[in-house]
Amino acid sequence: MIKITVPATSANLGIGYDTLGMAVSLYSHFTFDRAERLTITGCPEEFRNEDNLVYVSFVDALREWDEEPFPVSIDIQTEVPVARGLGSSSTCVVAGIMAAAALTGHTVDRAELVRIATAVEGHPDNVAPAILGGAVCSFTPEGDLPRCLRYEVSDRLRFITIIPPYEVHTSEARKVVPQQIPLSSAVWQMGRIAGMTRGLETGDTDLIAAANDDRLQEPYRRPLIPDYDAIRRTCLAGGAKTLWISGSGSTLMAVTDDTIVAKFLQVRLQESFPGCATHILTCDTEGAQIEYL
């Protein structure tokens, strides 16, 4: 029996549309064992079948290595909400692939995990930080494997995470993003991506705030999150330096380097938005982990 723990992720980090992502200290835990028939527990009834993304990823990885699929028992215990912009699907994909390797005796490094997970998920912005930990800038050269640049994130930073009680599906969020942009917008983004990664490394919240001014996707996705403006005002008035949409939403993340500010702000958010879940998170530096039970 094995247990796999995968961190949640925040994709885009405001300015890095489809390129930046960061692992955070919210986790999904998956337990696997060989079994006589497929059984899945810990998730809603409609997902306890062969279409479960964890099992689909498990089977896809086995076929990658020319292994025949076999039944397993899977238990899922997760802190990561579905369709909220925290990489819940990536945790499932990564866990399925790692379990397939472990239960068949394959040794895979993290680069191989990223390659297979990207093939399953379709893009590396969430799976790469989930596997590698830290903040990651990912891109895939034409006809080549994903390239991942990993950045350490200052342990001074705290990410106040606000999770509204409604979903924003990635497919809907992508529809509102323009497919063509002016050259000036591309130039605007490029310098700020460098500023964001440097700010995260050094813990410079003023630099993070200056860099976090997206023109590609956030202006178009904000209307999909009814509480966006009110939460943003509350966070900035409460001492946070800046705020971004996590992935395609609906989760929002505010940034501070002061733990007292983070705790006071969490209380204020809980009072003002009682329907939202709030967490004070740090960057997860380890990425996905496996344990033999």
282 and 126 Cβ atoms separated by less than 8 Å:
no
Q: 81 and 116 share a domain?
A: yes
Positive or negative, the CA dihedral 54, 8, 137, 252 is positive
* pTM, 2 dp: 0.92
Q: What are phi and psi of 245, to 5 degrees?
A: -80, 125
Q: 172 and 69 share a domain?
A: no
CB within 8 A of 242, min separation 6: which ones?
Answer: 14, 205, 208, 209, 212, 236, 254, 255
d(CA 9, CA 16): 14
Q: Is 287 annotated as a binding residue?
A: no
Q: 134 and 19 share a domain?
A: yes
For the segment 211-266, what is each residue's pLDDT rounded down to a tens digit? 999 999 999 999 999 999 999 999 999 999 999 999 988 999 999 999 999 999 99
Q: 22 and 71 share a domain?
A: yes
**Total domain count for the chain?**
2
Which tokens sit at 18?
């489809």
Band of pLDDT at residue 83, cut at 50, 70 and 90: confident
Looking at the chain, list the stretches that DSSP marks H as alpha helix, in order from N- to C-terminal side.
Answer: 53-64, 88-104, 110-121, 127-132, 170-175, 183-202, 205-211, 218-221, 228-237, 259-272
Band of pLDDT at residue 103, cut at 50, 70 and 90: very high
The answer on pLDDT for 91 being more than 90 is yes
Q: Is 14 annotated as a binding residue?
A: no
Band of pLDDT at residue 36, cut at 50, 70 and 90: very high
Q: Is 83 annotated as a binding residue?
A: yes
Q: Is 10 annotated as a binding residue?
A: no
Q: Is 149 annotated as a binding residue?
A: no
Amino acid at 290: I
**Mean pLDDT across 110-133:** 90
Q: 76 and 128 share a domain?
A: yes
- Choice between 265 and 119, residue whose per-residue pLDDT is larger: 265
76 and 58 Cβ atoms separated by less than 8 Å:
no
pLDDT computed for residue 163 by the predictor: 97
How many of the other CB atoms lie within 10 Å of CB of 275?
9
Query: Which residue shows structure tokens 């606000």?
Result: 162
The answer on pLDDT for 172 being more than 90 is no
Which tokens sit at 247?
């992935």
Percentage of the chain modeled with pLDDT above 90: 82
Q: Is 191 annotated as a binding residue?
A: no
Domain of residue 27: give its range: 2-151+284-292
Q: Is 236 annotated as a binding residue?
A: no
Q: Is 89 annotated as a binding residue?
A: yes
Amino acid at 219: P
Q: What are phi and psi of 31, to 5 degrees?
A: -110, 130
Residue 131 is part of a domain; what is its CATH number? 3.30.230.10
pLDDT computed for residue 2 by the predictor: 96
Residue 274 is part of a domain; what is its CATH number? 3.30.70.890
Q: Is 141 annotated as a binding residue?
A: no
The answer on pLDDT for 171 being more than 80 is no
Q: Is 16 annotated as a binding residue?
A: no
Band of pLDDT at residue 199, cut at 50, 70 and 90: very high
Q: 64 and 163 share a domain?
A: no
